[in-house]
A and B are shown apart, each in its own frame.
Chain A
Amino acid sequence: MPTIDTDDILEQRRAYNESLAQAADKTRAVWFPIAIMAALLALPALQFVGNYNYLIHLVLFTASYVVMASGWNVLGGFTGYISLGHNVFFAVGGYFAGMAFARLEISTIILAPVAGLVAGALGYLIGLITLRVRGPSFIISSLALVMIFRIFFENWEFVGGAAGVALKANSLPVEWAKLPYYYAFIVMAAFAVWASYRIKHSKFGLGLRAISKDEIKSESAGINTRFYKVMAFAISAFFVGMAGAVWGEYLTYIRPNIFLIILVSVNMVLMCILGGKGTIAGPVIGSVLIVAFNEFFVATLGASEINILATGLIMMLCLMFFPLGIVGTLARHRKLPRVLNWD
């Protein structure tokens, strides 16, 4: 009869668990995101030496997606509930602030947090309903949500139906006209990244990550999974709604086919998957790459159909070969550069 060597097995378990743990704390480089921030805040100074409106637009556009993708990441990355319908909150934020701007002339930048809260509150209510199902059912319900909202917005006379509402452009000279929105998005993006870091490392965030690993076990471990999930949904809706608020005024239009097109919600998902779902830097890296990629395609080929095809193709390849995304894959192989480890 062989002797029972439990120590041996426990030792093996421990070694195994250690191999999974990421080398985290020591490699973090806080200076890097701060340096980027400083550079971006100073960037508009270029307008003194030439016309860099396009560059400003690109950074602004990327920042808007950093806000949305980081927000989406709270639900899709941390909690593991994939929503393909988050552009609903983009629309809600956009319409709320846009209509207030059109009727009451309150700047959407000031209104953005309020619009975010409105979207968040709606997200809370929708989450109460749709988060009762998980996995593919949840994904399908999120798609249905977009369809339902699109029909509503297209038939709601008060907000102009399918034609939407035109918003007044600001009266600044053309080289400075983008700047209010530029700074608004930069600040929101920084806030979104900071907030998602704080969320991830809070007790709440730990609960969300537990839910994404095993919801039933989390529940039996005493986590109020329902409340956690719904809150995660509301928080992610808040960020997306906030981005939508300013986006409408920036484009001087609110219209269903700006906000409620599938490409917007796909972009959020794709950016997180490409960058690394559930990581802090992932959505940022994903946003930069996808925006750059979109611009490249629009500039060289011009056609939005090819853009859809290419986006789909990249998404397929990512899912098949890098399901962990850039940050996740590098981290697993312990090759993540210090400057990109924001977790």
Chain B
Amino acid sequence: MIMADMVQILVLGLALGGVYALMGSGLSLVFGVMRIVNLAHPSLVMVGAYIAYWAFRLGGVDPMITLPVALVILAATGVLLYKLVFEREARSAKYSEMTVLLTFALAMVVEGALGTAFTNTQRVTSPDYATDAFFIGSVFIPKGQLYSGIVSLTIISALALFLKYSAFGNAIRATTQNRDAAELLGVNVNLVGLVSFAIGIGLAGAAGALVSFVFSFFPAKHWEWIAILMSLVVLGGMGSILGTVLAAFILSVIAAYVGFFFGATWSTLTFFVALFVVLLVRPQGLFGEKPELA
């Protein structure tokens, strides 16, 4: 039954989109506020995944419970990285280019460290729900992906509310839109940078906990994620969290259909090609207004 297949693929695509949305939103926040294209973001997601993996493997702790822990650990790492590396780069003339290279190097450091510590073996956490599914008629919804999608959207909503309604959230948005003006109105933009960076990296940790039971992973896999996440953030209009979330769902669904019709290999290609096409045809993304990066 072709129709049922189509619905099934849509559901699977959407479920995957939820996870990518959380992975991408931290990246988007950091870019929006700091103008840092954080190529190390996926490698830090990987760190979160390992935290969840070992907590599950050694202590039988559910990844959902490890999630806030991973979030806090990674946020603290974010503070450290900001203080050690990125704060001093703020005065660099070729700032955005410099930070791309720096985060690229950081990604290698993280990959190398994880590879040294845990080898390149494929890992996955397997709580009960990871292999279970709901059935609606003949359509099945994998529980693991459903739960991770719900958690991911909850976290993103909390972030959106914080940005929209708290004074500090407003300061973050203001800094994203006009850094100089925010500074002139008394916003401590350096603190805003620090906090946003910490939140962004914290979200990477949270996403890692979810990823740990949705995908199998090994340290070098973050390269594949980089291009996937970049495609979301670029398509969403760099720095727009809502755009990133929408892009995550759109691309995941397209990738699911491509995978169904042409095979799994080409499914990943969807993201890369989308990234390429968007950068070249509409560098400001679907929802961005001006070509920030062009």
Contact = CB atoms under 8 A, between A and B. Distances in A.
A190 interface: no
B273 to A, nearest CB: 7
Contact of B109 (A137, A144, A312, A323): A312
A141 interface: yes
B37 A136 contact: yes
A40 to B, nearest CB: 31
Interface string A297-308: 000000111111
B139 interface: no
Nearest to B36: A136
Interface in A290-324: 303-313, 315-316, 319-320, 323
Contacts of B89: 320
Interface residues of A, number: 41
A211 to B, nearest CB: 14
Contact of B280 (A84, A129, A320): A129
Contacts of B279: 130, 133, 137, 140-141, 144
Nearest to B224: A147
A305 B280 contact: no
Contacts of B223: 147, 262
B151 interface: no
Contacts of B230: 140, 143-144
Contacts of A148: 269, 272-273, 276
B183 interface: no
Interface stretch (B110-118, B156-164, B172-180): B110-118
Given A133-B293, A151-B272, A273 B101 contact: yes
Contacts of A319: 98, 101-102, 105
A82 B109 contact: no
Interface string A146-160: 011001001100000
Interface string B248-288: 00000000000000000110110011011001100100000
B49 to A, nearest CB: 17
Contacts of A305: 111-112, 115-116, 119-120, 219
Nearest to A151: B269
A312 B39 CA distance: 13
A194 B113 CA distance: 39
B96 interface: yes
A141 B276 contact: yes
Nearest to B120: A305
Contacts of B109: 309, 312-313, 316
A338 to B, nearest CB: 29
Nearest to A305: B115
A82 B276 contact: no
Interface string B195-208: 00000000000000
A134 interface: yes
A141 B100 contact: no
Given A133-B279, A137-B283, A140-B234, A307 B112 contact: yes
B227 A147 contact: yes
Residue among B88, B97, B105, B119 having the largest count of chain A Cβ atoms under 10 Å: B105
B147 interface: no
Interface in B90-146: 92, 96-98, 100-102, 104-113, 115-116, 119-120
Nearest to A263: B108
A313 B115 CA distance: 15
A127 to B, nearest CB: 12
A309 B116 contact: yes
B288 to A, nearest CB: 12
B293 A135 contact: yes
Contacts of A273: 101
Given A141-B276, A308-B108, A310-B112, 14 more contacts: A82-B100, A130-B279, A133-B279, A135-B96, A136-B97, A137-B279, A140-B100, A147-B227, A147-B268, A155-B265, A262-B223, A273-B101, A308-B115, A309-B116
29 contacts: A133-B283, A133-B294, A135-B97, A135-B294, A136-B96, A137-B279, A137-B293, A137-B294, A139-B101, A140-B230, A144-B230, A144-B275, A145-B276, A147-B227, A147-B272, A151-B266, A151-B268, A303-B116, A304-B115, A308-B108, A308-B115, A310-B112, A312-B108, A315-B104, A315-B108, A316-B106, A316-B109, A319-B101, A319-B105
